[in-house]
Amino acid sequence: MKLDIVMVTFDCTDPQGLAEFWTRALDMTVAFDAGEFMMLSPKSGNGPALGLQRVPEPRTGKNRVHIDLSTDDPAAEVRRLVELGARELGGYEAPGIRWRVLADPEGNEFCVGVHE
């Protein structure tokens, strides 16, 4: 048996608004928009899709699942993501890796890191 991750879905109050952030952040395109649910796909065709699903309540508490993004230049990417509307929440290090925690415009947390 084989399983592949094909999509990660965020609950949100404004899928279209959040799509503006994530399409620009990850160079994605809107593949499907049903109003209450949107699917964003990588323009490159590689990697999982991102789902944005409308829910009536805003996020409260800590995320139970989040995405980790990797880059060769985390400082530049964090600056770019903040300019797009993310908030920087903190930074961490462990042997061989360092990462920054950010939140998208609706407060969904995600990490940007680099393996050393």
Sequential pLDDT tens for the chain (116 residues): 899 899 999 999 999 999 999 999 999 999 999 999 999 999 988 889 999 999 998 778 888 889 999 999 999 999 999 999 999 999 999 998 899 999 999 999 999 998 77
Rounded Cα–Cα distance for residues 61 and 63 (Å): 7
What's the confidence (pLDDT) of residue 70?
93
Rounded Cα–Cα distance for residues 33 and 68 (Å): 25
Residue 53: name the closest of 93, 7, 14 by CA: 14
Residue with tokens 């940007």: 112
